[in-house]
Amino acid sequence: MKNLKDKKILLIICGGIAAYKSLDTIRILKKNGCEIKTILTKSSKEFVTPLSITSLSQGKVYEDLFSIENESEMDHIALSRWADLILVVPATANTISKLAKGSSEDLASTVILASNKPIFLVPSMNVRMWEHPSTKENLNILKKYSYKIIGPEIGDMACGEYGEGKMTEPVDIVNKINDYLFVINKNNKLKALVTAGPTKEYIDPIRFITNKSSGKQGYEIAKSLSRNGYQTTLISGPTNLKINDEIKLIKVETTEQMFKETQKNLPVDVAIFSAAVADFKVVEKYDVKIKKKDELNIKLEKNIDILTYVSNHNSMRPKLVIGFAAETNNLEDNAIEKLKNKNCDMIIANDVSNRNIGFDSDFNEVTIFYKNDKKEKLFAKNKSLISEEIVERVNNQLN
């Protein structure tokens, strides 16, 4: 597990019967060269002691939010910044609920809320608690916030019941983290380009042709790529959305501008074209505002096809070219035709005739078509979750 060597891991231990397994987790992490600091919640001390944690981790154990000793040595903000990643093990139903609500009532929740690092939750609870709708809802909220979830497993529980809710074994937890770091380390050498949003094609200085795209899906894809280690460039049409500082943002208005910026930013390893570019532009743009007339004839011509250009650019074609197909009818036929005609590796198609998902919505439902004739559907969920699933498939394709 060489990807763990010299990694700084902040371990947060919550109060559950599975807390004793955190000791084995620490032992395996230390064996693989990790530096560990630990936060114990108030209830976790009913199951493990600061002394046992310190002896295994050889690192400081933090307990209270307003400890003079802690705050003079390293305040809660600095502690969250120190870590390469945060591991919450076990993550109880109560902890999951608090995090979903953005609670900061103790040191553990305050550090997590203040963190800008990957956060892994390892749930452990009774099967009925795990299956409760509120737990599922809270987990969906946390996934939307990019928390990583490990487990739980199906098995016998300390309460005597059997079912899903058993904490993942320490060796499997550490393997999952190692796998994640492997992907991140490999992706750090890779470049990704994403296009997002609509484009505008001006008729006169104030009127233009455009569409209802909000850019939300493309922005979320760029964020997911960046979180997964890719050096990410986002070329965006007009939107009011904000993006992380580590992502290179290039703003454009017209399809031609988006095309030129795409050319400038090649080569890349993966290109995802989620922008809803205008397929047509005005042949002759008026230099002044058009006044009302009885008749107005506007002649249109086809715009440059950015996706086709990149996917067929022999010398600079990315390893993976992914297009989007926003359809109102015959979704599968149109997506497969686009996949073949534009020489893509994947086409992500969605039905934009449904007003509750797709364009200008926080939710989406897509079907991914692969060039090997495989297809899979990602059912309706928040666009941030759709993006995580898309990038997971990008990782699989590249790795």
Q: Six-digit token pair at 374? A: 């495989």
Q: Between the CA of residue 308 and those of 269, 280, 313, 314, what are the distances in Å?
A: 16, 15, 8, 12
Strands 119-123 and 191-196: unpaired
User: Distance (Å, rounded) from C-alpha 231 to C-alpha 374?
Assistant: 28
Contact 272, 306 (CB under 8 A): no
In 3-state terms, what secondary structure has residue 110?
helix
Q: Six-digit token pair at 352? A: 């934009």
Burial class (CB in 10 A: 0-12, 13-18, 19+), 175: middle
Which residue, among 123, 136, 120, 109, has the nearest Cα to 9 in the 3D structure?
120
SS3 letters across 321-335: EEEEEEECCCHHHHH
159 is an active site residue: yes
User: Distance (Å, rounded) from C-alpha 43 to C-alpha 41?
Assistant: 6
User: Distance (Å, rounded) from C-alpha 297 to C-alpha 31?
Assistant: 74
CA 114 to chain centre: 18
Bridge partner residues of 196 (DSSP): 236
Contact 45, 10 (CB under 8 A): no
Q: Six-digit token pair at 214? A: 């909000």
Task: Spot the catalytic one: 14, 34, 159, 344.
Answer: 159
Q: Six-digit token pair at 23? A: 């000791």
The residue to which tokens 């990149």 are assigned: 310
Enumerate the active-site residues. 159
